[in-house]
A and B are shown apart, each in its own frame.
Chain A
Amino acid sequence: QKEVEQNSGPLSVPEGAIASLNCTYSDRVSQSFFWYRQYSGKSPELIMSIYSNGDKEDGRFTAQLNKASQYVSLLIRDSQPSDSATYLCAVNPTSGGSYIPTFGRGTSLIVHP
């Protein structure tokens, strides 16, 4: 069974710090990886996509992928209270034509002033 694991948290960081969110996955054939942000009572919002090993930066966000270790992470620099949300990791198994993303249960991030 394909699994995506995240620490549920909450992860609490002070304003201005770097928040580091981690995700591991079980399906070795996965090729596409995504991070979503979900505010309480709202729907998930896509913030990052990553497909190749290494780092991908977009503003204050950096996604890191290591396929050999089956590990993907999200770094948020200069964290702001508005970043307080649940962050969902999603993995797409792109083999076999079954394009059903598997989501982790999310990590709750709290950025305190």
Chain B
Amino acid sequence: EAGVTQSPTHLIKTRGQQATLRCSPISGHTSVYWYQQALGLGLQFLLWYDEGEERNRGNFPPRFSGRQFPNYSSELNVNALELEDSALYLCASSVGQGNSPLHFGNGTRLTVT
């Protein structure tokens, strides 16, 4: 069974640019979660998508946005990049029920210079 896949692995952008990160969930999983993990910090919840709808978002500015496609894959967009956006962005999927664990992809390392 293929795991959660994320692309690209690394992304280098300059301040003010836009970044697009992509995620394909495990087959059969309808929920996709995005987390940000800045260096030395814990996982900060960004966005949750389920069945194509945004279900919840964390305490991040509106320049962080995303969507989920009919095949349940997802993309995260970050506009007007700032230096502090540099972090590991993790996508995780689950079967969409409250007692299900998350399965993480390998992450996208975003560096903003």
Contact = CB atoms under 8 A, between A and B. Distances in A.
B42 A106 contact: yes
Interface stretch (B63-71, B72-80, B94-102): B94-102
A103 interface: yes
A27 B101 CA distance: 18
A109 interface: no
Given A31-B98, A43-B90, A88-B43, A100 B33 contact: yes
A101 B34 CA distance: 11
Contact of A94 (B45, B99, B106): B99
Nearest to B43: A103
A26 to B, nearest CB: 15
Contacts of B31: 99
Given A43-B90, A44-B43, A32 B102 contact: no
Chain B contact residues (Cβ within 8 angstroms of A): what range?
A: 20 to 34
A104 B101 contact: no
A70 interface: no
A92 interface: yes
A51 B99 contact: yes
B95 to A, nearest CB: 10
Contact of B101 (A49, A93, A100, A102): A49
Interface in A79-101: 88, 90, 92-94, 97-101
Nearest to A49: B101
A9 B105 CA distance: 26
A112 interface: no
Contacts of B48: 99-100
